[in-house]
């Protein structure tokens, strides 16, 4: 298991953040993982999941984020 913080950030707030947050939370649900997240000019999710699943989730999240102009960073604990 890997504990990681996944952060999507953007210089300005976006009205699409809530929509993006819902899409990302759905990805975690598909991997049977609960994520603690928050909403501002960035989205961050603290997760504890298998390394293989984390890589899959991050790939999907990066795609969603890029579509909305966000940069994605993963910080493993």
pLDDT, tens only, 21-47: 788 888 888 888 877 665 556 788 899
Read off the DSSP letter of residue 39: E
Nearest to 53 by CA among 23, 22, 69, 74: 74
The total domain count for the chain is 1
Q: What is the pTM of this model?
A: 0.63
**What domain range is 35 assigned to?**
2-76
- Which of 35-39, 46-50, 60-64 has the least mean pLDDT? 35-39
Helix (H, G, I), strand (E, B) or coil at 27: helix
In sequence order, the 6+-apart residues with CB closer than 8 A to the CB of 35 are 24, 25, 28, 45, 46, 47
CATH number of domain containing 41: 3.30.70.600
Q: What is the distance in angstroms between the CA of the first residue and the CA of the last residue of the chain?
A: 11
């Amino acid at each position: 298991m890997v504990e990681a913080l996944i952060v999507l950030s953007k210089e300005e707030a976006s009205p699409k953040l809530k929509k993006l947050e819902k899409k990302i939370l759905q990805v975690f649900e598909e991997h049977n993982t609960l994520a603690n997240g928050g909403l501002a000019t960035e989205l961050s999710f603290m997760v504890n999941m298998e390394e293989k699943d984390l890589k899959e989730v991050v790939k999907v999240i990066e795609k969603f984020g890029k579509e909305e102009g966000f940069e994605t960073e993963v910080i493993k604990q």
